Every structure is written in C-alpha cells, then in structure tokens.
C-alpha cells in the first residue's frame, strides 16, 4: 500500500532467493497472518495448506478442483485434455486451488517459488477464505463443515452402486444428471441451510422406509377408470391446477423434480441425482460471485504483499517478482486484442476493489455525487468487507461500478438486435452512458440471465405421463438446438416417458416452438 512506515530497526527478511522449506513457509505464513488478522481484520476459517506436485494438481483439476470426487469418465476426459495441454505447454497450471471448507484447504504446488507461495497464501488462504466465510451466498447455500465428509460419502456411494448395478447403469444416470446440473439448483427459493451430515442419515432412512412400506398389493389396484373427456372445461382446468399444486409446479429445479417424481427410477438412482444436485448447489455461489471473489482475493494479496514490503520483510527483488505475477493475473485485454476473451474476473474485480478503496480514501466530486454514503469515509477495508458480505457479482457491479472505472477501462455497450443488420454502439463511457453500461455489465454477470430459464410446468398424469418443460425465451434468445435435443433425451431417460420442451415468450406467454422426446427414442438408445 502507499503507506510508508519506516521501521526503527530493519527486521530480518523472511526469505531470500527462490527456494523454500517448511520453516520459511511457516514463518511467511505467520507474517501474512499477522497482517491479515490484525491489520485487515479478516475473518477466516482455520487454514490448511497442502503442498502437492504438478501431477497431483492435474488430478485435482480434472475432478473440478475437489480433493475427493466420485469417478466419472468426464473427469477422465478433462484429465486427458489438461494433461496434453500441459505437456505441450499450451496451458499452465493454476498456482493454487482453494476449497470452501472448514478448515479451508489451499493446495500449493511444490515448484512455486517462495514469493509465489507467499502470494498464494495471501490470495487463497486469506482472501478467498475470508470471502467464503463472510459472503451471504456461501453462508446460505453451502455447508463448509460438511462438504468433505459429504464428498467422501458420495464417492463411496457411487462406487458401491457401480459394484452392485454395473458401470453402465451408473454411468447412464450420472451422464443425465451432469447434463442437468445447471438446472439442479434452487435459484429463487433457497433451502434451509444445508446440513450434509443429515444427508447421510436421510439416505439411510429413505432406503429403510422403502423396504418397510413395500406392499405388493399396490400393484393390483385398478387403474383410474375415468377419462378426462367428459369433464367440462371448468373442471378440467381445476384438475390441472390441482395436479400442478400436487407436484409443486412450476418447479425450476429439474433434478429435484425428477428425483422426487420420476416414476421409474430406483432408489439408488434418485440418490445419485441428489448427490449431483447437492454438488451443483455447492458450486452455485461460486458461479455467482466469481468476479467479486477473485477481486477480494487480489485486493487482499496486493495489500498484504505491499505491507510485507513496507515492513521490510521481503526484499525488493521479491517485490518485483510479485508485481510481475500480479500484473499478469490482473491483465485485461481490450476487445480488439487477439487475447480478448471477455472480461477477466481478476482484472475487473481487482480494479473495482481498488476503486472503492480510492473512493473511500480520496474521492473526487463525481464520486461524492455517485457514492455519497461511502465517499471519503476513510474506512476502505470496512467498506469492502461490507460489500463482500452482502453482494454478488451482479448487484455489486450495479452498486459500485464507478464512472471513473468505466472511463479507465473504456467500456462501451453494443446492441446486437436480430432485426438489424448491424451492431450498434448503444452507449459509451460518458455522462449519458454510465448507467446504461453499468446496468448491462451487471446483467452480463447475472447468472439467471446467462443461463436459460427452464421450468417443469406440467405432467399428464392421467394420460401418457408426458412431462412438460418450459423454456422462457427472453428477447428471442433461443436454446442451442442440438444441445437441447440431447439434454432433452437425458431428461426423457430419467423420466422414462415422453417429454415436451416448450419455448414460451416471456412477454406474450405464447408458445413459440416445441421439441418432443418420445419414449420410443429411448428404446433405440440415445
């Protein structure tokens, strides 16, 4: 940071050179912890730093960053691809992986230099760790205490299923469940705080209940005798309403609906759906806060490394090395740069955090007008901690993106309308454009806009058990057709009967087009 505190007596450097051993690592950690806890006053889970090799990093990569994971071919595919990319030098490996658990586990690679290890500890073990512990989404949606035990359970359970029912049967269910993972979260109604330990108990009870209540007599009950045909319009409507209420429709969580209601699934198949759903739910907050999370971690590591330097604990050489890494991480390519691939969450996040810091400490007139509540309050860290706790990417941008940052990054807004042969510049970084640009950027970070709006709307319970799924189209943006067809096939496979996917216009409510999956397709294999 910019504060220059000249120490009375020059303290000893924490390290020199690139090599490290466990003692220097520990000493460095202690110095960083001192700054993080006593100066920044971060609130963190206890830390566990694990040193791993690059091979182990590749392993961890392929199983979506988790230390334990059930086996599935898609992880093998990722491993094979990453392995090729890494060996050919097209792609480096992450310097660290951090896991939202208690204790908070950070993986660091053995070949990192000590400067890198310091950066990684500051970034992951304090930056991300604080964010995990304080952000409201993580608090509400994830169970840091239970995740590792739950993954252990999931791994064992799926291995057991493979033993009992064969690789193919388990693979079919997992494939289908993975395809629906993004539709396996509750977006709007958040559940009670998950308790993954209770999950284990619940699974046992479900199996027990099924065993106890099994009665062959149910099979012999006569089918519903009357058809709907003779009912008048009014009663038919009522029936539909009744039915929808019975199934809790509409239901946005497709996996949840299938787990509970698919008529042909076995108990273990339902449990696998539940496992995939729980894991999807666990990652959901990370998707919504990617930019903030990285911004927070970058802000923290930047503050800590500067503080270490100011205290004379690290050398100028080390500081140069750090600045090199840091500036590479927070690099933002411009739109016409061949390297451009969207906003870099590290860059945008870090820039926003630094900008808020500036507004708190050294505001301009413009800042006072735009952010009257925080401008010049001289409590940058407290302000940021408030923001980290109570926002997600979308709302954070909407609240805190300042005109200065929009000017600095030279943001502009493009309209891409299907009715027009051209793209049109709708707004740029000027007085007329700030709010438009900010709103659009926030929408781009809104996961409910990015991901399609899918719901289960109806089940034809008296007829052929056709399942109706609705995709609400916003602004005429359709689903990727071939992908949707394949995914629909997976739903059909789980449901066991026909499925119809209807695309509905969000304004008029009229059905735009339909896509069908019939159970006959299932017979021929998908």
Q: Restricting to residues 246-305, which ones interact with another protein according to CB under 8 A?
A: none
Instruction: Give me the sign of the Cα torsion angle 261, 262, 263, 269.
Output: negative
State the minimum distance, in angstroms, from the CB of residue 207 to another protein: 25
Give me the least distance between CB of 405 and another protein, in Å please. 10
Angle, alpha carbons 162-167-170 (nearest 5°)? 70
Min dist. Cβ of residue 195 to another protein (A): 24
Q: Which is nearer to another protein, 189 or 432 (CB)?
A: 432
Which is nearer to another protein, 46 or 222 (by Cβ)?
Answer: 46
Residue 195 burial class via C-beta count within 10 angstroms: exposed 0-12, middle 13-18, buried 19 and up? middle
- The verdict on 71 binding another protein (CB under 8 A) reads yes
172 touches another protein (CB under 8 A): no
Q: Which is nearer to another protein, 81 or 160 (CB)?
A: 81
Q: How far is the CB of 425 from another protein (least distance, A)?
A: 4
**Complex with another protein: residue 307 or 470, whichever CB lies closer:** 470
Residue 120 found at the interface with another protein (CB under 8 A): no
Give the end-to-end CA distance of the chain in Å, rounded to a whole number: 59
Query: Which part of the chain contacts another protein (CB under 8 A), choosing from 29-37, 144-152, 209-217, 305-313?
Result: 29-37
Q: Rule CB under 8 A: say whether 335 interacts with another protein.
A: yes
Q: Which is nearer to another protein, 83 or 366 (CB)?
A: 83
**Could you say which residues in the range 436-495 bind another protein, by CB under 8 A?**
437, 440-441, 444, 450-452, 454, 471, 473-484, 486-487, 490
Give the angle 155-156-157 at the CA atoms, nearest 5°: 95
Residue from 215, 432, 508, 524 touching another protein (CB under 8 A): that is 432
Check binding of 12 to another protein (CB under 8 A). Answer: no
Instruction: Work out how close the CB of 29 gets to another protein at its nearest, in angstroms, rounded to a whole number.
Output: 5
Q: Taking CB under 8 A as the rule, does residue 238 contact another protein?
A: no
- Which helix (H) or strand (E) is 213 found in, with range? helix 196-213
Cα gap 366→129, rounded to integer Å: 34
Select the residue interacting with another protein from 12, 13, 156, 167 (CB under 8 A).
167
Write down the residue that tokens 């870099």 correspond to: 344
Exposure letters 33-43 (e unless 16+ CB within 10 A, then b): bebbeeebebe
What character string, x for contact with another protein (CB under 8 A) and - otherwise, covers 175-194?
A: x--xxxxxx-----------
Q: Shortest Cβ distance from residue 414 to another protein (Å)? A: 6
- If the CB atoms of residues 160 and 204 are measured against another protein, the closer one turns out to be 160
State which residue, 5 or 38, has the beta carbon closest to another protein: 38
According to DSSP, residue 248 is labeled T
Instruction: Locate 172 and state its tokens.
Output: 């079919």
Q: Which of 159, 198 has the CB closer to another protein?
A: 159
Which residues neighbour 141 within 8 Å (Cβ) at sequence distance 6 or greater? 190, 194, 281, 282, 284, 285
Residue 145 touches another protein, criterion: CB under 8 A: no
Binding segment for another protein (CB under 8 A), chosen from 47-55, 187-195, 217-225, 301-309, is 47-55
Q: Does 27 bind another protein (CB under 8 A)?
A: no
Residues contacting residue 70 through CB under 8 Å, at least 6 positions apart: 154, 155, 157, 158, 159, 174, 275
Site for another protein in 338-377 (CB under 8 A): 338, 340-343
Residue 110 makes contact with another protein by CB under 8 A: yes
Torsions phi, psi of 21, nearest 5?
Answer: -135, -175
* Interface positions, 410-429, toward another protein (CB under 8 A): 410-419, 421-429
Tokens of 493: 């496979």
Positive or negative: CA dihedral 483, 342, 344, 415 = negative
Spell 354-375 as b/e; 16+ CB within 10 A means b. bbbbbbbeebeebbeebbeebb
Residue 130 binds to another protein (criterion: CB under 8 A): no
The three-class DSSP label of residue 358 is helix
Q: Does 80 bind another protein (CB under 8 A)?
A: yes
Task: Note whether 516 binds another protein by CB under 8 A.
Answer: no
- Can you say whether residue 419 is alpha, beta or left, with left for phi > 0 and alpha for psi between -120 and 50 degrees? alpha
């Amino acid at each position: 940071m910019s504060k220059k505190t000249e120490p009375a007596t020059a303290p000893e450097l924490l390290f020199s050179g690139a090599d490290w051993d466990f003692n220097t690592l520990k000493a460095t950690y202690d110095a960083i912890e001192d700054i993080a806890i006593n100066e920044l006053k971060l609130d963190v889970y206890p830390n566990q730093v694990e040193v791993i090799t690059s091979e182990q990093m590749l392993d961890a990569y392929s199983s979506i960053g988790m230390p334990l994971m059930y086996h599935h071919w898609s992880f093998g595919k990722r491993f094979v691809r990453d392995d090729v990319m890494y060996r050919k030098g097209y792609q480096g490996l992450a310097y660290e992986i951090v896991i939202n658990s208690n204790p908070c586990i950070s993986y660091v690679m053995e070949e990192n230099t000590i400067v890198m290890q310091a950066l990684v500890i500051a970034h992951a073990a304090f930056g991300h760790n604080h964010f995990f512990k304080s952000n409201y989404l993580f608090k509400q949606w994830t169970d840091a205490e239970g995740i590792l035990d739950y993954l252990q359970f999931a791994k064992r359970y799926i291995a057991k299923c493979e033993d009992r029912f064969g690789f193919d049967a388990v693979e079919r269910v997992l494939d289908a469940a993975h395809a629906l993972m993004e539709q396996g979260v509750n977006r709007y109604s958040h559940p009670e705080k998950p308790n993954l330990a209770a999950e284990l108990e619940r699974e046992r009870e479900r199996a027990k209940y099924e065993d106890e209540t099994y009665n062959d007599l149910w099979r012999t009950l006569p089918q519903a005798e009357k058809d709907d045909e003779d009912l008048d319009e009014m009663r038919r409507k009522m029936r539909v309403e009744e039915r929808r209420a019975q199934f809790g429709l509409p239901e946005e969580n497709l996996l949840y609906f299938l787990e509970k209601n698919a008529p042909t699934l076995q108990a273990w198949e339902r449990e696998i759906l539940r496992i995939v759903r729980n894991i999807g739910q666990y990652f959901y907050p990370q998707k919504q806060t990617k930019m903030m999370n990285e911004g927070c971690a970058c802000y923290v590591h930047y503050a800590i490394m500067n503080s270490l330097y100011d205290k004379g604990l690290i050398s100028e050489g080390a500081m140069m090395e750090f600045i090199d890494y840091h500036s590479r991480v927070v690099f933002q390519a411009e739109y016409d740069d061949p390297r451009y691939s969207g906003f870099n969450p590290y860059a945008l996040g870090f820039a926003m955090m630094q900008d808020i810091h500036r507004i708190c400490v050294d505001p301009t007139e413009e800042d006072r007008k735009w952010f009257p509540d925080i401008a010049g309050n001289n409590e940058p860290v407290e302000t940021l901690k408030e923001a980290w706790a109570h926002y997600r990417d979308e709302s954070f941008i909407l609240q805190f993106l300042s005109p200065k940052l929009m000017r600095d990054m030279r943001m502009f807004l493009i309209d891409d309308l299907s009715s027009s042969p051209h793209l049109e510049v709708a707004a740029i970084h000027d007085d007329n454009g700030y709010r438009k640009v900010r709103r659009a950027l926030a929408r781009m970070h809104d996961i409910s806009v990015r991901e399609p709006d899918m719901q289960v709307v109806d089940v034809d319970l008296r007829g052929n058990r056709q399942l109706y799924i609705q995709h609400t189209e916003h602004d005429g943006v359709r689903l990727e057709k071939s992908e949707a067809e394949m995914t629909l096939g997976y739903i059909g496979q789980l449901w066991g009967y026909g499925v119809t996917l209807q695309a509905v216009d969000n304004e008029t409510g009229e059905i735009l087009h339909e896509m069908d999956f019939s159970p006959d397709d299932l017979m021929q294999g998908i």
